[in-house]
Structure 1
């Protein structure tokens, strides 16, 4: 009796990655909603020389001593301590789960947290502390994302080449007093932007701001 052996494929099959990405993106554009993602500067960006310290709140003695912004609601850096606050404002389709209202006791008193899960495209990288802004006017702070890559051979998968749905994350709805609501645009213009209609997909080039690579070079693995 003969034995059927599997086929050994050493080289990466790029077509498999591309097809899987297209399926994910098609579902996102068909079923998702336009969402404005605000990607904040991080300490690693500063270490790489991509951004400087905030000229408003990062030069006083408190900030220099503790290595953090002296004001959470700084109008220049939005509490990040880095110049400009964010490295990118981009619009991407995203699918959100439903959120249930509830209450919990914390050090700040009784709060009503709402946490959802979301999925968006894999062409950018989110970090814990970034924000997602919805057409409902809500602003959510993102938690650390999960990684979903497609293995097509024996090599190590990397986000830029193999990710199909990297940005799977949980997010919590921010209170209206949060610093997130000081980040432009304001609520009314935000709703107008995200409810645009016309071409498919709608262009948002006029409002997007990209100050650094959407997938930093030091995080491409």
Structure 2
């Protein structure tokens, strides 16, 4: 008797990736909320020639010596040291867990950060230090995200091809005195924007700002 064995699929199955992404996005729209993400410029963006240094706080001797912004609450770069501060302001559906109260000891004393987990779409990349803004007015600083990819055959599963939920990350609520609250829009305008509703997902093209690729070319693999 001959034994029938299953065969490995050598070619990537694009339909499988598309279906999994669709399921993730449907769940985000169904049980999630609209959130605005502020993607900050990074040193790698500067090295790639995508952005220059902040003309306000990155030209003095302190900044040049230490490679850091000379002031945290710079209204021009929001403490990033790079011109404009952010490469994108976009609105995406996201699911947030409830906040967990905790205490930690920092150089500023004992603080009680509220930390949550969130998941959003995979069409952009967040970095540690980026921000998420909610309709409640809260602004959260994002931690290092986790990668979730779908392997459908031999080969390396690159994010741009098979990512289904790359932006699965932790986030901590920022203090109201944080530089995060200097980033536009103001709290009242933010609440109005994120409260848009309708029979289909509303458009946010009029408020989004995209100054560079949402997934930088040097990070697409």
Match of 1:12 in 2: 12
Match of 1:218 in 2: 218
- For 1:71-93, what per-residue CA distance to the aligned partner results, in whole angstroms no more than 9, with x for missing partners? 00000000000000000000000
CA RMSD of aligned residues (A): 0.9
Runs of 4+ with >6 A deviation: none
Match of 1:149 in 2: 149
Q: What is the distance in 1 between the residues matched to 2:8 and 2:214?
A: 35
Match of 1:178 in 2: 178
Q: What is the distance in 1 between the residues matched to 2:158 and 2:29?
A: 24
- Secondary structure (helix, strand or coil) at the match of 2:101 reads coil
- Secondary structure (helix, strand or coil) at the match of 1:175 reads coil
- Structure 1 residue ranges without an equivalent (≥5): none
Match of 1:31 in 2: 31
Match of 1:43 in 2: 43
Q: Which moved more, 1:147-156 or 1:93-102?
A: 93-102
Following superposition, the deviation at residue 105 of structure 1 comes to 3.0
TM-score (norm 1): 0.98
Match of 1:202 in 2: 202
Aligned residues: 221
TM-score (norm 2): 0.98
Q: What is the distance in 2 between the residues matched to 1:71 and 1:108?
A: 17
- For 1:161-196, what per-residue CA distance to the aligned partner results, in whole angstroms no more than 9, with x for missing partners? 110000000000000000000000011111111001
- For 1:20-52, what per-residue CA distance to the aligned partner results, in whole angstroms no more than 9, with x for missing partners? 000000000001000000000000000000000
Alignment of 1:17-166 (within 5 A): 17-166=17-166
Following superposition, the deviation at residue 199 of structure 1 comes to 4.4
